Chains A and B, each alone.
Chain A
Amino acid sequence: ETGVTQTPRHLVMGMTNKKSLKCEQHLGHNAMYWYKQSAKKPLELMFVYSLEERVENNSVPSRFSPECPNSSHLFLHLHTLQPEDSALYLCASSQDHPGTEAFFGQGTRLTVV
């Protein structure tokens, strides 16, 4: 248990569905992240959030939209996804920017059919 909780653990959705991934941390961290992990590829940084700002990877399609309502919660809203979006989506948090250890959630295994 890392202190970062992701739900759901598994998700199967059609290309026309809308779903949301949830991440929660109670470690008192200031920064939260979404990563995508596909087979045989590096962990891909999608979004970085703090209370003051959001930083995004410009290569992430607009069908992924993050939301960070407070310092403890992070969502990833999904709509009209493609089969190639099937992957493990990992949430992480750290104190301030990543000059300190990032703690990862267990991930959501997403399958788009």
Chain B
Amino acid sequence: GQNIDQPTEMTATEGAIVQINCTYQTSGFNGLFWYQQHAGEAPTFLSYNVLDGLEEKGRFSSFLSRSKGYSYLLLKELQMKDSASYLCAVTTRADRGSTLGRLYFGRGTQLTVWP
């Protein structure tokens, strides 16, 4: 089975830095996504990590350690509009005889940014 854990809620103030952690236990791990979801909207892609290390994209960075089953999303210079749910998602390789992998999501971390 798949087990993906992330904190339920976090709060921070404008201009601060926040790190959202995600741990996972999964078979056939292929890669890890981070998505952002504002209330009432569709999830939108933030980052994708396949190899160990840090991927930086503007104010957002994502880190992966495959050996530890651990990832984090780092948000810098927080803005009010960053208040949203952040979803950690794991992709798995296709089963034998199949061409389709899977994409499994954690519960999401609700981030609230205060002025």
Contact = CB atoms under 8 A, between A and B. Distances in A.
Q: Which secondary structure dominates chain A's binding surface?
A: loop
Interface residues of A, number: 30
Contacts of A107: 42
A33 B103 contact: yes
Contacts of A94: 103
Contacts of B41: 106
Interface residues on B, range: 20 to 34
A43 interface: yes
Interface in B57-115: 87, 89, 91, 94, 98-108
A101 B45 contact: yes
Contacts of A33: 103
Nearest to A103: B45
A6 to B, nearest CB: 9
